[in-house]
Amino acid sequence: MTSTSPLNIALIGFGTVGSGVARILSTQAKNIAVRAGREIRISRVVVRDPDKAREFLPAGVEVSTSIDDVIDDPQIQLVAQLIGGIDPAFDYMKRSLAAGKDVVTANKALIYAHGSELFERAAANERTIGFEAAVAGGIPIIGAVTQALTGNQILSLEAILNGTSNFILTRMLDEQHAYADALKEAQRLGYAEADPAMDVDGTDAAQKLAILTQLAFSTPVKLDDFVRQGIDGIELLDLQVAADLGYKIKLLATARLQNKRLEISVQPTLISCDRTIAQIDGADNIVAVHGDAVGNTTFSGAGAGQLPTASAVVADIIDYATGRTAVTFQSILRSSQQEPWPVQPAEELRRRYYLRLTVDDRPHVLADITDVLGRNEISISSVRQDETPETDEAGDGTARLVIMTHTTTEGRLRAADTELSKLACIRGASIRLPIAD
Amino acid sequence: MTSTSPLNIALIGFGTVGSGVARILSTQAKNIAVRAGREIRISRVVVRDPDKAREFLPAGVEVSTSIDDVIDDPQIQLVAQLIGGIDPAFDYMKRSLAAGKDVVTANKALIYAHGSELFERAAANERTIGFEAAVAGGIPIIGAVTQALTGNQILSLEAILNGTSNFILTRMLDEQHAYADALKEAQRLGYAEADPAMDVDGTDAAQKLAILTQLAFSTPVKLDDFVRQGIDGIELLDLQVAADLGYKIKLLATARLQNKRLEISVQPTLISCDRTIAQIDGADNIVAVHGDAVGNTTFSGAGAGQLPTASAVVADIIDYATGRTAVTFQSILRSSQQEPWPVQPAEELRRRYYLRLTVDDRPHVLADITDVLGRNEISISSVRQDETPETDEAGDGTARLVIMTHTTTEGRLRAADTELSKLACIRGASIRLPIAD
Ligand SMILES: NC(=O)c1ccc[n+]([C@@H]2O[C@H](COP(=O)([O-])OP(=O)(O)OC[C@H]3O[C@@H](n4cnc5c(N)ncnc54)[C@H](OP(=O)(O)O)[C@@H]3O)[C@@H](O)[C@H]2O)c1
Ligand SMILES: NC(=O)c1ccc[n+]([C@@H]2O[C@H](COP(=O)([O-])OP(=O)(O)OC[C@H]3O[C@@H](n4cnc5c(N)ncnc54)[C@H](OP(=O)(O)O)[C@@H]3O)[C@@H](O)[C@H]2O)c1
């Protein structure tokens, strides 16, 4: 192989992202060939349904439904693995690596669940994996953490990594919509899947944060290591009260070194309105990285969508073509050998909290609640009871009580939660959100 | 050389940035060795004054005042060129390359003025130049443009690239300070040089924008190609009126493809308060990149300062140690061969404008001025005359008139400027700023 021979690649999956990759490779073919130092040629495409009409499919490309056609084709050096989920994506990736092919992918669920095994297999076969598109779409955050900020001990990552949730929260506040209506709108506009569970319950953001945490802190974490909370319990009232108090609520993914322990959480969080991260609206993503040398740097943009995600996949393809991926991947493998940080137990996380309780609208209720908090050593910084609960969909004689606490631990709040839930005056849904300072 | 032998580097200059590099290489030595795949060792340091006490100087390192000691040392593979200005930095860099040494640098003035010659010399000697630190300090924008976004046709760059100017504008508005006072404060805090001319007149930002323009649009530009305007004519009144109208004034560096021409300017610009770029305060920098695939992405953080700048230099050193720089630099050389875009003549730039005129406070003045604008086909969207010009330091019977225009050309405004300056009613300083939409 000389560096001027074309690079033959296969696309496994030709859906939103796969067809976007084909589109960019065709519209930018000339520039990309210059930057990559060689022509990049899609030689094969594998899909599920061979009969679907496919926009952006390059003329003359063989479309098949069998991965074997790719595995058995010695011309193909690089496989772009662009189908979602674990099965059969995991198997296809293992087989591609075993066949001596390098891989790029946008599949965060797979990298989260089986990244370390895949990386080991790649290393054993002297192959590489590029996965810039797996986190934050078009925002080059993997590159930032693995290349641009390597002179730093990264101290924290704070990020909005799920565009669907951010879109829903933004629309609720801007349009005075209830959660269910904003979710429906997200689905109608194609931001949310038919089954949006992984987006709104924080799973998707947590998977992405886990990938970044491995790279930034060389610490492998699983979903169980996190405090994880979705946005599905958020009411319009919460967003409004928070706004009154100078905060926005965002599904914030945080990994932070604190006293030589790693704190990790994905939770809807109150963030002061004047912080950059609070100002990221709609489906956009942001990652704020605090490094000991560089200080605070932020990276924001489209975290999903056809072309932004494909932009990252294509950058990985070009990096592969130039030989840069080989270097970067070695560096990632070496870094993964570093000593991991111990993960802070969830109970010991220290934050301020926002509590919104639905309570009977009668005397003594506040006394009962503050008594529970007091006994759990949680001190209150402010209390607010909504006198005209316009947003009270129940309209059943309940009131909404909002309590802001001083700094305390997750453990104390959990203990208090248990006691509160037993109080007769507590009715229906309550929510508890941390405040990021 | 095996990849596990230490990399011997020389630091030319051990001032703010040079000592920062030494500090990071020492505090992060272990992690950096893992990421770089080898130990990085400062073997020589060259400075002007051999007797100065130097913090962070590694024990046993030879400090000399002669570049010859570096040139003649075959052990040194990489030279970190960290002195400012052209002379002798340019000569030292040429000699380093000629002696077969690779170079990293933070010197934007040099890369701006002689980058293409240096790149050619590096290529001829099969050497490389890393210069991430030369633009926007710790923000990895060179990497973004040359690596992460290579699948895109970049359509525009909008940036705040001079921390000193941004600090001054921020302090003026926040503290109700006059320009001169905010400048003094910037100097006292070490943000501005004793001679701040290059910062406040837009030269520094323009040099950095020129470097980015070369990379993003493969179009070499010089300061004369720009509309360039400094912040020194801005009064507190301008910032206040702009704020009332929903804008912040920022020293905005813009390079944009418009009708297949490249528009470039560095000017104090009114930017709608709700845009991310308007919210970058203090000494921070931001670069917003619009790519045809990725859409809008933004990169922000500390654009200068010891450790942020050194963070970028160290990343370049690590990239060199891993072999990544060799790949990236080839890619930059290839891209520079691409067809440049024609630069839009300044006269043809189309924007809305903010005009602030100091005029005699008497009848007919407005009629005289609108007549001039009208004859130059400039249509007015709003007029505002300050009735109580508290900020009028003159207090001499003049008034401040603020006019916002509809979209028009720089050429028409220039023609109108000439006519306006001849009107008897115009007294003292006026200013004209574009509005970014
Ligand atoms: N969409 C985004 O904005 C975005 C952003 C970041 C990351 N990602 C990730 O990118 C990956 C692809 O997402 P997408 O949105 O492009 O998905 P998609 O639109 O559903 O496309 C999936 C593609 O994979 C093919 N496919 C599915 N199962 C297959 C199988 N068993 N054998 C062969 N082909 C199979 C489908 O074939 P048919 O066309 O025949 O159905 C389709 O072409 C996922 O991992 C996703 O998490 C997506
Ligand atoms: N400071 C920042 O925040 C920043 C940010 C981005 C980029 N940069 C760029 O980084 C470069 C260095 O800036 P800096 O702030 O570190 O400058 P600095 O603090 O003034 O340090 C300059 C260093 O160069 C040495 N030097 C100057 N002339 C020399 C000569 N003829 N021979 C040998 N050594 C000489 C000085 O020696 P002595 O110590 O003996 O005087 C000093 O160690 C400049 O190009 C600057 O534009 C700086």
- What is the ipTM metric for this complex? 0.94
In terms of domains, do B27 and B119 share one?
yes
Centre of ligand 2 to C-alpha B108, Å, is 12
Nearest beta carbon to residue A150 from set B20, B299, B318: B318
Q: Is residue B199 part of a domain?
A: yes
> Is A30 annotated in the active site?
no
Tens-digit pLDDT profile for residues B246-264: 999 999 999 999 999 999 9
Report CB contact under 8 Å: A151, B334: no
User: Residue A18: CB within 6 Å of ligand 1?
Assistant: yes
In this complex, the residue of A297, A308, A327 whose CB is nearest that of residue B294 is A308
Residues contacting residue A66 through CB under 8 Å, at least 6 positions apart: A46
In terms of residue numbers, what domain contains A204?
A: 141-303
Q: Which residue has its alpha carbon closest to ligand 1 atom 10?
A: A106
Please, which residues have CB within 8 angstroms of residue A45's CB and are 6 or more apart in sequence?
A: A10, A11, A14, A18, A22, A54, A57, A61, A62, A63, A64
Residue A19 annotated as lining a ligand binding site: yes
Which of B342 and A337 is assigned the larger pLDDT?
B342
- Does some domain include residue A329? no
Same domain, B147 and B228: yes
Please report residues of A whose CB lies closer than 8 A to that of B315.
147-151
Does the annotation flag A16 for ligand binding? Answer: yes
- pLDDT reported for residue B1: 39
Q: How many domains would you assign to chain B?
A: 3
pLDDT at B191 over 60: yes
Query: What percentage of chain A has pLDDT greater than the value 90?
Result: 89
Q: Do A293 and B279 touch (CB under 8 A)?
A: no
| Nearest Cα to Cα of residue A223 among A103, A352, A112, A76 | A112
Q: Measure CA A129 to chain center.
A: 19
Average pLDDT over residues A197-216: 97
Q: Are A110 and A133 in contact (CB under 8 A)?
A: no
Q: Quick one: A278 and A130 in the same domain?
A: no
Please state the separation of Cα B1 from the chain's center in Å.
Answer: 38
> Is A332 within a domain?
no
Q: How is residue B340 annotated by DSSP? A: P
Given A208, A248, A250, A422, which residue is catalytic? A208
Q: Which of A21, A44, A47 to mutate to test the pocket of ligand 1 (most atoms within 8 A of CB)?
A: A47
Domain end: B303, B321, B356, which one?
A: B303
Is residue B175 in a domain?
yes
**B195 shares a domain with B284:** yes
Q: How far apart are CA A336 and CA A325, in angstroms?
A: 16
Q: Are residues A167 and A191 in the same domain?
A: yes
Establish if B309 belongs to a structural domain.
no
pLDDT confidence tier of residue B192, bands split at 50, 70 and 90: confident
For B59-107, the DSSP string reads TT-EEES-THHHHT-TT--EEEE---SSTTHHHHHHHHHHTT-EEEE--
A119 annotated ligand-binding residue: no
In a shared domain, residues B103 and B57: yes
Angle at which helix B108-124 crosses helix B203-217, to 10 degrees, equals: 30
CATH of the domain at A392: 3.30.70.260
Per-residue pLDDT of A90-149, as tens digits, reads 999 999 999 999 999 999 999 999 999 999 999 999 999 999 999 999 999 999 999 999
**Residue range B51-62: mean pLDDT, rounded:** 93
Name the 3-class secondary structure at B274.
coil
The whole-model pTM stands at 0.96
Q: Are residues B177 and B217 in the same domain?
A: yes
- B121 and B179 part of one domain: no
Residue pair A303/A137 in contact by the 8 Å Cβ criterion: yes
Across the range B104-114, mean pLDDT stands at 98
Contact B108, B84 (CB under 8 A): no
Which atom of ligand 2 has the smallest separation from the CA of B92?
32
| Helical spans, DSSP H, in B86-227 | 89-98, 108-124, 141-143, 163-175, 179-188, 197-200, 203-217
Domain boundary (B119, B134, B149) is at B134
Residues A170 and A290 placed together within one structural domain of the fold: yes
Instruction: Report the greatest alpha carbon distance in chain A.
Output: 82
Q: Which of B21, B149, B150 to mutate to test binding with chain A, by most A CBs within 10 Å of its CB?
A: B150
Q: Which of B89, B105, B134 is the last residue of a domain?
A: B134
Residue A370 lies in a domain: yes
Residues of A within 8 A of B276 (CB-CB) are: 276, 279, 300
Average pLDDT score, chain B: 94
> CB distance from A375 to chain B under 8 Å?
no
Looking at the fold, whether A211 and A184 belong to one and the same domain comes out as yes
Report d(CA A306, CA B69) in Å as an integer. 54
Please report, for the domain that includes residue B268, its CATH number: 3.30.360.10
Q: Is residue B318 part of a domain?
A: no
| Average pLDDT over every residue of B97-109 | 98
Rg of chain A, C-alpha, whole Å: 24
Beta carbons of A112 and A211 less than 8 angstroms apart: yes
pLDDT at A290: 98
Residue of A331, A332, A335, A339 for testing the chain B interface, max B β-carbons within 10 Å: A331
Residues A226 and A158 both lie in one domain: yes
B335 shares contact with chain A (CB less than 8 Å) = yes
Residues A127 and A67 in one domain: yes
